[in-house]
Amino acid sequence: MAEDILKVEHHPNYATITLNRPEKRNSLNEALLAAMDKACAEIENDKEIRAVILRGAGKSFSAGLDLAEANRLEAAHSPVNIERTFHRLAQLPVPTIAAVQGAALAGGCELALHCDLRVAAEDARIGMTVARVGLVVPYDFIRKLIEVIGTANTAQILYTAEPVTAERALAMGMVHEVVPNDKLDAAAIAWAEKVSSNAPLSLRTMKKSMRRSMSTANDTWHDDILEMARMVRVSKDAKEGIRAFLEKRKPVWRAE
């Protein structure tokens, strides 16, 4: 049930959204993305909410896309397409705060980046590991990485496919604060209370202004890159990468 896989709690002036698949390190499957989309839709029309905390239950924020559903979720015709869901999160009219602990990998990393503010626990490991399984980061997600941490840091994250520590993420500007693990929830709440104490119309207008100022990057022609990405997703290497991951072995790449 959606209520079990995603929890939404309302507090005075802010809401908390919790990814609730701890046994799967909160990997993003169809049901979880659909529940996130529904939660965002409800928040869009709630004038009482001035900030949102996004967190993961258990030891991880999110280990990324559930590879068992990767092909279906990355398809453009999917009703819960991951890019559209993340875009909706980014376009929420109020500031959003990601509370990141443990693994925030691939789609989990991007989920945090699509929030406006990020606070990390000391054990956080954040990265884009898709090259390890022969997949590719969507164009819009690469744009988001560059927007947040710049081209040099994006190159490190993408080409090495190695997660960075919380302290390195702080140095990159990927997160705003690093706190002890047991202080993460309190730190996220402090950010939410600080943000939501400000004038709601000011917050909404400033957020819209910031998003508008970055919007021209979306208009850059990239149909060729989308086609290249599609070819990667259906390649033999991609199938081998996912199979190797699920079988817990090293993939054998053939560049085909």
What digits encode the pLDDT tens for the residues 160-183?
A: 999 999 999 999 999 999 999 999
58: left (phi over 0), alpha (psi -120 to 50) or beta: left
CB 197 within 8 Å of CB 189:
no
For residue 59 the two structure tokens come to: 């030891």
What's the CATH fold of domain 2-183? 2-enoyl-CoA Hydratase; Chain A, domain 1 (3.90.226)
Specify which residues 103 forms β-bridges with.
125
Question: Domain map of the chain by residue range?
Answer: 2-183
- Tokens standing for 248? 């817990």
Q: Identify the band that residue 128 occupies on the pLDDT scale cut at 50, 70 and 90.
A: very high
**What distance, in Å, lies between the first and last C-alpha atoms of the chain?**
39
Least confident of 107-111, 120-124, 129-133, 179-183: 129-133
